[in-house]
């Protein structure tokens, strides 16, 4: 029998609270807000970092063009295996720190969109910088990052790296959450490395 999503998420949190970051999966209100923030007509390549039990993934698949290439990065093995059974057409990896490497292995050089729910507040400064660098390098100029967090602690880092389109507060979620919608600057060109020393 398949484990319920709330129970699966709680088990993942208890195994590794710093990696999972929440006791409960994303609410339907949050998932809808995230999916509404993506320009789906521009998406051919996309990655979701920290999909958990697939609350956002489920809505995302309904919007995706048939030919889209999708990467899902989930550290929790039980959650990742459940996602594989439900969405066998997607590509799976465990560590978002190797986002660019895994893309290149599939001959994908840049992404149109990244959806990220990783709990950055729980990460070390070095890990946070590394993953932000991976995200920045992976996105094409003009590409969109939709990132959700439980505080505004990422605002400064994100505005230094990206154009901030908006920050939306989603109160009907537990806990309440902020959704950042950012774009990689068009003048970034094909730059493959960035200096994160000021973060």
pLDDT of residue 188: 74
pLDDT tens digits for range 173-186: 777 899 999 999 99
pLDDT tens digits for range 11-37: 444 455 444 444 344 578 899 999 999
In order of 9, 54, 113, the CA distances from 86 in angstroms are 16, 9, 22
pLDDT tens digits for range 64-85: 998 999 999 999 999 999 999 9
Backbone angles phi, psi at 100, to 5 degrees: -65, -45
pTM (two decimals)? 0.83
């Amino acid at each position: 029998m398949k484990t319920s999503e709330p129970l699966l998420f709680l088990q993942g949190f208890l195994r590794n609270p710093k990696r999972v970051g929440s006791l409960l999966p994303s609410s339907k209100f949050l998932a809808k807000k995230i999916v509404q923030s993506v320009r789906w007509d521009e998406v051919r390549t996309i990655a979701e970092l920290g999909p958990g039990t697939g609350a956002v993934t489920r809505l995302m698949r309904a919007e995706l063009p048939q030919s889209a290439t999708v990467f899902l990065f989930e550290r929790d093995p039980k959650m990742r295996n459940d996602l594989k059974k439900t969405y066998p057409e997607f590509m799976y990896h465990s560590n978002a720190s190797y986002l660019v490497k895994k893309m290149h292995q599939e001959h994908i050089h840049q992404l149109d969109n990244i959806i990220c729910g990783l709990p950055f507040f729980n990460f070390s400064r070095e890990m946070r910088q590394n993953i932000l660098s991976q995200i920045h390098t992976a996105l094409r100029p003009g590409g969109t990052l939709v990132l959700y967090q439980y505080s505004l602690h990422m605002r400064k880092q994100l505005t230094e790296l990206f154009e901030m389109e908006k920050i939306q507060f989603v109160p009907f979620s537990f806990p309440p959450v902020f959704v950042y919608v950012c774009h990689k600057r068009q003048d970034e060109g094909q730059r493959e490395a960035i200096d994160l020393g000021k973060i």
